[in-house]
Amino acid sequence: MEQVKKDVQNIRWMPMSNKVVSNTYSFVCDPDECDTLIELTTSDSFGFPSGVTELTCPCGRQMSYIGVIINPSTEPGVKVETIAEQYNPNLIVTYKAIEDGQTRYETRKINELEWDMDQFRKLRKKENAWWGKESQLRHIITEAYENSSEPDLVADIARIFDIPLTKTIEYNASINVTGTIEIDMTMEEPDIRDLVWNALSINSTLGEVEVHDFDVLSVEEC
């Protein structure tokens, strides 16, 4: 993609008046993970780029800078070349592809890459639509399994669609904890319960088990 970047950045600038000029910068995120396209428009009255070449995607990744489109001034005698005038769909570029952790370099035409990206966006839209339906299907199948006279049949349907038959229940556990605590003997008798309460923490190391709250009911010195 380096050649593409060089081509889109090869723009001739000419002095301008105080007329406000807007520049539209284009960024794309990792097509294998996010595939977000963001266009950022900035304005100034000088007629030169404001240097916006870095942008962070809402997903947290650093986006790739594609190029900038300069909106031409209507002032007589001033001409600015735009990306559209330099666009070459048959331009051959070399890019890095990562699949299953393996890196390889491929050489293809710009229009072939554009077609792949368009197909990927269409596939992503279908996947998003499926996940919306999957949520509804999960709810229906879970209820059907609990009330069905043929639970094995419902379980088979759930396996076809990779839907886990689970439900959430609340629990209340009684835990007995023993341990030691260092106290300053020269100080006033401390409240052991407060010391333990402030130091004790209960967490779950299993993703299916969540700890919402806990309380120290009593602490006694052995």
> Quick check: is 35 in a domain?
yes
For residue 66, being part of any structural domain is answered with yes
Q: Residue 37 domain-assigned?
A: yes
Task: Kindly indicate the confidence band of residue 7, based on its pLDDT and cuts at 50, 70 and 90.
Answer: very low
pLDDT tens digits, 103-145: 888 888 888 888 888 888 888 888 888 777 887 888 888 888 8
Q: Are strands 102-109 and 92-99 parallel, antiparallel or unpaired?
A: antiparallel
Q: Which pLDDT score, from 0 to 100, does residue 21 have?
A: 62
pLDDT at position 71: 60
Residue 44 has what pLDDT?
Answer: 61
Range(s) of the domain holding residue 75: 2-87
Query: Does 137 reside within a domain?
Result: no
Inter-CA distances, 99 with 19, 118, 133, Å? 48, 19, 29
Total of domains in the chain? 1
pTM: 0.38
Which 3 state secondary structure label does DSSP give 64? Answer: strand
Which range is least confidently modeled, 21-35, 71-85, 170-184?
A: 71-85
- Condensed to tens digits (0 to 9), the pLDDT of residues 55-69 reads 788 888 888 877 666
Give DSSP secondary structure letters for 188-213.
PPP-HHHHHHHH-----SSTT-----
Cα–Cα distance for residue pair 142/147, rounded to 1 Å:
9
Looking at the domain assignment, is residue 141 inside a domain? no
Element (H, E) at 65: strand 64-70
The separation between CA 31 and the C-alpha centre of its own chain, rounded to angstroms, equals 12
